[in-house]
Amino acid sequence: MTSKPRRQGPEDNGPVRQVPAQAAIGGTRRLADWLVALAPGDIPAAVNHVALRCLVDTLGVMLAGAATPVAGIARRVTALTAADGGAAVAGVAGRYAAPSAAFANGVAAHALDFDDNCYAGFVHGSAVIVPAALAVAQARHAGGEALLTALVAGAECQYRIGMALGRTLYDRGWWTTGVLGAIGACAATAKLLALDVDATVHALGLAISGTGGMKCAFGSDAKPLLAGRAAESGVMAALLAEQGARGPANALEHDYGLAALTNDGVLDAGWLTPAQGNWCLLAPGVDVKRIPVCLSSHAAVDGVLDLMARHGLPADQIAGIACDVPPVVVANLIYPHPRTAQEGQFSLPFAIAASLMFGELALDHLDDRLMTDKTLVALMAKVTMDSGPRWADPGLATVAPEGAGVTIILRDGTRFTTFVAKAAGSAARPLDDRALGDKFMRCAVRVLAPEQAGQLLATLWRLWTLPDVAFLTLSDPTPKEYG
């Protein structure tokens, strides 16, 4: 579908921030030029495969997340406010208009904090982009190839802006999934709507100028709800632009724009012109979670389990577990004594103690009742977290952004130490497709019958052959209402 003709005329958005390099001549416009010109044949097979893996992983955790209370809240509100439409909602029958389906599915995708991460902006990218793109693709009867291309377009636009901004805003307390998510959702939607360059610029301007999110949301319902809102907001921005709405074309670099207000004006404009052969989906890549807690805890968990297995250490002889982690990990894992499962997902003591108790931290362990288990509480008390001088080295922060030095001290004083730069499942140490499929099935069968989950997985692996993704269903033929 093409967009309506646009009015011509100068933008009236106040003074443009004087910045070096290319930003002053319109970073948003350059991203829009690239996005509109992007054709399926321009995307390398390796990039498409990463995008497909993101879709598989996200739909799996979305289905599992559909059974959570917060996803149920989101669906109940959606039922009160949404128009009927063609987009499926995970876990329940009935279809809604694309923005509402994107919201409900975005909440479900992030409800368990089991979705992927990308260090381009320190964001949960797919939990926002996939629900938005899937909802619009189903509503507009797009094929699998178009959906996959839109996922690549949305991810690259979002991650490039994340690279351009760097870590400043994240370290200041902005939750970058909320801040940047609407941009990726908007870019993916604009691609599916086949907006022209002018309309795409205004769509991105609308998304960027209305974005937001704070890390105070961690450990509360606000976090998945904000992911859903970002997906919904991105879809709405593109739909509004399709109808002729205008946004600020310089929302990235304006004196009162995104970089100025959230990032001390830092904006590396070189990232806003996609270069041939340079794909964020490949580098820095996407990190898939092996366990359903904040990624900041994964390297330390891997280190503990490795030491336990390698040296045959008995858990009942552990006197202490000391974790030396970068400051960002300390800032993220804020609950040393978690009272709820949501707080436990942002607690290094919980992640390590539960892994020691059960061998593998799984979705079933995200249970409020477990937080008072005496054995778990005793194990959590043995875990300490600090950020030592090694993390002053900027090179280490680049190589191991959420790495961990781990020391296990036994009761007799014996010490065992290791260092993990990046966790299993990260782009540097990816799960293979079989392991990813196993994760999908473990998640999906919490809502779907095993046979239906298996059929959906097989269909997703051949996404590019589908003439219309509208027939994809995300609920059991006789679904229960969850949450």
pLDDT of 5 > 90? The answer is no
Residue 198, both tokens? 């002018």
pLDDT band at 6 (very low <50, low <70, confident <90, very high): very low
* 387: number of Cβ within 10 Å: 16
pTM of the model: 0.91
Q: Where are the domains of the chain?
A: 23-272, 295-420
Parallel, antiparallel, or unpaired for β 383-386 and 404-410?
unpaired
| pLDDT at res. 26 | 83
Q: What is the mean pLDDT of residues 40-64?
A: 97
| pLDDT at res. 167 | 87
* Nearest alpha carbon to residue 275 among 181, 197, 190, 163: 163
| pLDDT at res. 219 | 86
- Distance of alpha carbon 418 from alpha carbon 473, whole angstroms: 45
| pLDDT at res. 19 | 40
| pLDDT at res. 103 | 98
Say if CB 118 and CB 251 are below 8 A apart.
Answer: no
CA 164 to chain centre: 18
Whole-number average pLDDT of the chain: 92
* 25: number of Cβ within 10 Å: 12
pLDDT of 18 > 80? The answer is no
Superfamily name and number for 295-420: 2-methylcitrate dehydratase PrpD (3.30.1330.120)
pLDDT of 17 > 70? The answer is no
pLDDT of 31 > 60? The answer is yes
Residue with tokens 């919490």: 446
Higher pLDDT: 15 or 142? It is: 142
Select the CATH number that applies to the domain covering 23-272 from these four: 3.40.50.300, 1.10.8.60, 1.20.1250.20, 1.10.4100.10: 1.10.4100.10
- Distance of alpha carbon 161 from alpha carbon 34, whole angstroms: 14
Q: What is the mean pLDDT of residues 184-206?
A: 98
| pLDDT at res. 480 | 62
Cβ-in-10-Å burial (0-12, 13-18, 19+) of 109 comes to buried
- Distance of alpha carbon 132 from alpha carbon 238, whole angstroms: 11
pLDDT in tens, 278-299: 999 999 999 999 999 999 999 9
pLDDT of 51 > 50? The answer is yes
pLDDT of 14 > 50? The answer is no
| pLDDT at res. 10 | 30
pLDDT band at 483 (very low <50, low <70, confident <90, very high): low
- Distance of alpha carbon 226 from alpha carbon 229, whole angstroms: 5
- Distance of alpha carbon 338 from alpha carbon 476, whole angstroms: 34
pLDDT of 231 > 60? The answer is yes
Same fold for the pair 23-272 and 295-420: no
| pLDDT at res. 479 | 54
pLDDT in tens, 177-192: 999 999 999 999 999 9
pLDDT in tens, 109-129: 999 999 999 999 999 999 999
